[in-house]
Amino acid sequence: MATRENLRNIAIIAHVDHGKTTLVDELLKQSGTFRANEVVDERVMDSNDIERERGITILSKTTSVMYGDTKINIVDTPGHADFGGEVERILQMVDGVLLVVDAFEGCMPQTRFVLKKALGLKKKPLVVVNKIDREGSRPEEVVDEVLDLFIELGADEDQIEFPVVYASAKGGYASLDPHNKGTDMQPLFKEIVEEIPAPEGDPDGGLQILISNIDYDDYVGRIGVGRVERGTVKNGQGAVLCGIDGTRQNVRIQKLYQYEGLKRVETETATYGDLICVSGINSINIGETLCSYDCVEPLPFVKIDEPTVTMNFIVNNSPFAGREGKFVTSRNLRDRLFKEIETNVALRVEETDSADTFKVSGRGELHLSILIETMRRQGYEFQVSRPQVITKEIDGVRNEPIEILMIEVPDEYVGAVMEKLGTRKAELVNMDTNGSGTTHIEFRIPSRGLMGYRPEFLTDTNGNGIMNHVFDAYEPWKGEIITRHQGSLIAWETGDTVAYGLNAAQERGRLFVGPGVPVYEGMIVGASPKAEDLTVNVCKKKHMTNTRASGSDDALKLTPPSIMSLEQCLEFIGDDELVEVTPENIRMRKMILSREQRMKNQNRNK
């Protein structure tokens, strides 16, 4: 076995918003990757529009920096558990991990989630306590919390002796002493080179490349991203592609690329330990191995956690169908969903008895809502049903997914939060007040109980609460949970909304539409404070008469409508309702649009 001392492969893992992407920005800048006068965006690794808008990483990205003679390949991974499929397979490509922890918030649910995966794969950890310049930061306590977490997750002796670097990614400095502000990132570069193991392998052995990711280019087609585990690969070389299902196929690598900074650069050859991209193999998939002809030994691929949430994607059949979308047919929808599962390994798509309906399962509501938002922006028009949890039959007992929920709230809101979560079958695990007027509470709660809770939580805490959750395990069904305590206001007829009709309707509940908005019969135009649905005529005009009376023609005062985001719509709808998604609008509607049909249906089900 040989060792490549001039190469390091690391993944950056952390909870959402603890500063992974900003840290990568700083490492790129200080390694001389950019020209001195080059204008660089903040969070340059978050290249996707939705990532930039929401400030979260959805897709893992690879880059490389040079520190002296050593090349450091860095993979920036998502922090949300909904994109855990990305994290799990990317860890296969690296030898060590940079665990970034916020110096104020400390260990959070996704910190636990990503660290558990890394320790299970025996990756060497290097802890970076970030944001030490933040007010209220407590770096030493956070290191103790991290140590407790390592012990709890069963880390081995070598992993528990983790090195610690204190940093401010925003300030652009790192230090080995929490009380000493550094001047640059040199201490972190130095620790990476000294502490993260160099890749080991056999340069003369039979070729093995494990494909961990798929990229796509309009010019060269599918690109497989992976690591050379053994041997050496050359541009134009022939190889055997070993499928996950045991199939074998002779292929040729047309182009070979490596990462230099943020760019993919064509290269003639790569050897063990290198992170590479290969093009020219259109049938290549995640989890497959490229081997040399004379030594066909496929590598095992990491098992991806199963989906926990499912929903139906349905061809749009509302009265406004086909007006705003570019891709509206069942074939368009089917092709797009099956294309998605080629790169989105944690997603499942199944066909149903109806040619217009597809069952799509993912790791959480966020995972699915990002897919819906992406498709909407690409010109697709369709409808989706309410998200449902996936249950499992274990030893003859019905089991459901349970999540760990961590909440940080000002002390005065603790009662309201506990009361609401109690009705959603949450069990209190831990409660801690840190003396600063904030309470930290941990619960175990069925995934069902969390659906639709976020808007309520933000209302109950006046927007001051922070909640994070992560999948924990499957446990026996916890019984019925009533999560929705309000009904819908439903449009009586098709037409454009009018101020007169809206004025009458707003007394019945909260409206989602303003004047001059096209609506159709059966469309949801607001929320009723009572549990039952109400039909309202928002298109009703005032009848003209020749009678005039003092005060009857005063200007109408309309309350501004609540504009619902995609996530809020998915959380609001009931089992008999759908969200209609088009490139221009997001609407909610009843599955059965006709009021008469709904009444007949209701009477039949009594």
Annotated binding site: 17-22, 130-133
419 contact partners, CB below 8 Å, separation of at least 6? none
The count of residues in the chain is 606
Q: What is d(CA 284, CA 212) in angstroms, rounded to the nearest whole number?
A: 11
Angle made by CA atoms 83, 89, 92, in degrees to the nearest 5: 145
Q: Residue 337 carries which side chain, given as an amino acid letter?
A: L
**CA dist list (Å): 173 to 18, 116, 186, 320:** 16, 28, 8, 55
What angle, 0 to 180 degrees and rounded to 10, lies between the N-to-C axes of helices 414-423 and 453-460?
160
Residue whose structure tokens are 């549990």:
531
Based on the number of CB atoms within 10 Å of its own CB, is 531 exposed (0-12), middle (13-18) or buried (19 or more)?
A: exposed
Residue whose structure tokens are 């959380």:
571
246 contact partners, CB below 8 Å, separation of at least 6? none
Element (H, E) at 459: helix 453-460
Q: What is d(CA 435, CA 19) in angstroms, rounded to the nearest whole number?
A: 26
Angle made by CA atoms 551, 555, 559, in degrees to the nearest 5: 125
Report DSSP letters for 381-448, one per residue: -EEEE--EEPPEEETTEEEEEEEEEEEEEEGGGHHHHHHHHHHTT-EEEEEEE-SSSEEEEEEEEEHH
Per the structure block, which two tokens stand in for 354? 């109806």
Q: What is d(CA 484, CA 31) in angstroms, rounded to the nearest whole number?
A: 53
Task: List binding-site positions for GTP.
Answer: 17-22, 130-133
Q: What is d(CA 14, CA 28) in angstroms, rounded to the nearest whole number?
A: 19
448 contact partners, CB below 8 Å, separation of at least 6? 389, 400, 424, 481, 483
Backbone angles phi, psi at 412, to 5 degrees: -70, -15
Q: What is d(CA 502, CA 495) in angstroms, rounded to the nearest whole number?
A: 13
CB burial string 303-323: b at 16+ within 10 A, e below: ebeebbbbbbbbbbebebbee
